[in-house]
Chain A
Amino acid sequence: MIPSRDLWKRLDALFYRCLELPPEARSAFLVQNCGSDHELRKELEALLQEVDEPIDSLQLPVREAAHEFSGHSEGTTLASGTRLDHYEIISLFAIGGMGQVYQRCAFSREVVSNPKDA
């Protein structure tokens, strides 16, 4: 929720002022300072409740993506020229959730194959 720059500034200012207050005083402070903007008050209350959660949950997807990125890279794929039965791998076509897709050739036909099915 960032509907406008002014509202974000208000949210920012009220958030940090609340942090300086003891938890039991925050609710009354917000009622007083948010006026009729109930949405802003609710948002601030929710934010303040979660303020001590660690940052890890935000870093984890990045770490996993970097891991997947490197884990599925060239090192674990079939090199061109590799023979599978009577097919020969020409090149890697794509990698998806279910496996790797290669271009291969057999008897001068070009077909696309998933090696996990082979």
Chain B
Amino acid sequence: MEELPSCQSVTSLLQRWGNGDKQALDQLMPLVYDQLHKLASRHMRAERREHTLSATALVHEAYLRLVDADIAFQDQTHFFALAARILRNILVNYAMAHKRLKRGGAAHKVEFDESVVVGQDSAGQVLELDEALQRLAVYDQRKSDIMELLCFGGLTYDETAAALQISPATVHRELKLAKTWLRRELTRRG
């Protein structure tokens, strides 16, 4: 049996990370990744097909399972930010696996340790969004961070502001160019 991370360990790792301990993040990452991955895989088991799973629901569910209720707001938003990054990572990996499969992967000897599962259109769009965010980050890290939290983490504007330690007004302002530029960038390439 695998050992489940306790609320206590995740909470204290979050607090240590919040206080600038980079090693805490290294330990935190696999715990949150694992939880999100499991949640995303299991989420639909008992649900109808037309049910839409939102990033927000996933991130909040992972949070409820992993973190103590009485954690400071700042540490809470750190968790959401981390979860958004991890969810981006999970979905991009799956979209890439899907693309490999589409190119005729099944004819080769391919080692799958998990099922490959992203629809063609959304898979391609997720990859394009991820790449556009990477290009944006080279010149404007903050706008890229804001869009990552909003798109992949499903955070609210206020949660995004708290996670990045900027004001909600700044989020709204930065968002104007970030979202408009991203949308144009995706249509340009699409």
Q: Which of A8, A77, A97 sits near B119, CB closer than 8 Å?
A: A97
Q: A33-41, A50-58, A79-87: which one contacts chain B? A: A50-58
Contact A73 B44 (CB under 8 A): yes
A-B complex: 5 closest residue pairs judged by Cβ atoms = A75-B45, A61-B125, A64-B122, A72-B117, A8-B139
Nearest chain-A residue to B152 (Cβ)? A62
CB distance from B81 to the nearest CB of A (A): 16
Assuming the contacts A74-B45, A75-B44, A101-B106, asked whether A46 and B184 have C-beta atoms less than 8 A apart, the reply is yes
Nearest chain-A residue to B135 (Cβ)? A2
Q: Please name all residues of chain A whose beta carbon is closer than 8 Å to the beta carbon of B106 when the two chains form the complex.
A: 93-94, 96, 101, 112
Contact B139 A5 (CB under 8 A): yes
Nearest chain-B residue to A8 (Cβ)? B139
Q: B15-23, B26-34, B63-71, B172-180: which one contacts chain A? A: B172-180
Q: Is A47 an interface residue (CB 8 A)?
A: yes
Interface size on B, residues (CB 8 A): 61
B residues 144-190 touching A (CB-CB < 8 Å)? 147, 150-152, 154, 173, 175-177, 179-186, 188
Report how far A71 CA is from B46 CA in the complex, Å: 10
Q: Is A59 an interface residue (CB 8 A)?
A: yes
- A interface, size bucket: 35 or more
Of A51, A74, A94, most B-chain CB atoms within 10 Å: A94
Contact B179 A66 (CB under 8 A): no
Nearest chain-A residue to B46 (Cβ)? A75
Q: How many A-B residue pairs have CB under 8 A?
A: 156
Of B105, B119, B136, most A-chain CB atoms within 10 Å: B119
Q: Is A106 an interface residue (CB 8 A)?
A: no
Report how far A63 CA is from B44 CA in the complex, Å: 13
Contact A47 B184 (CB under 8 A): yes
Report how far A66 CA is from B117 CA in the complex, Å: 9
Q: Please name all residues of chain A whose beta carbon is closer than 8 Å to the beta carbon of B91 when the two chains form the complex.
A: 62, 65-66, 69
Assuming the contacts A69-B91, A96-B106, asked whether A51 and B119 have C-beta atoms less than 8 A apart, the reply is no
Contact B175 A55 (CB under 8 A): yes
Report how far A1 CA is from B119 CA in the complex, Å: 28
Report how far A2 CA is from B150 CA in the complex, Å: 22
Nearest chain-A residue to B95 (Cβ)? A65
CB distance from B153 to the nearest CB of A (A): 9
Q: Is B110 an interface residue (CB 8 A)?
A: yes
Contact B179 A55 (CB under 8 A): yes
Q: Is B94 an interface residue (CB 8 A)?
A: yes
Report how far A64 CA is from B125 CA in the complex, Å: 10
Contact A97 B42 (CB under 8 A): no
Q: Which of A57, A63, A66, A75 sits near B183, CB closer than 8 Å?
A: A57
Contact B177 A12 (CB under 8 A): yes
CB distance from B102 to the nearest CB of A (A): 7
Q: Is A117 an interface residue (CB 8 A)?
A: no
CB distance from A69 to the nearest CB of B (A): 5
Report how far A97 CA is from B98 CA in the complex, Å: 9
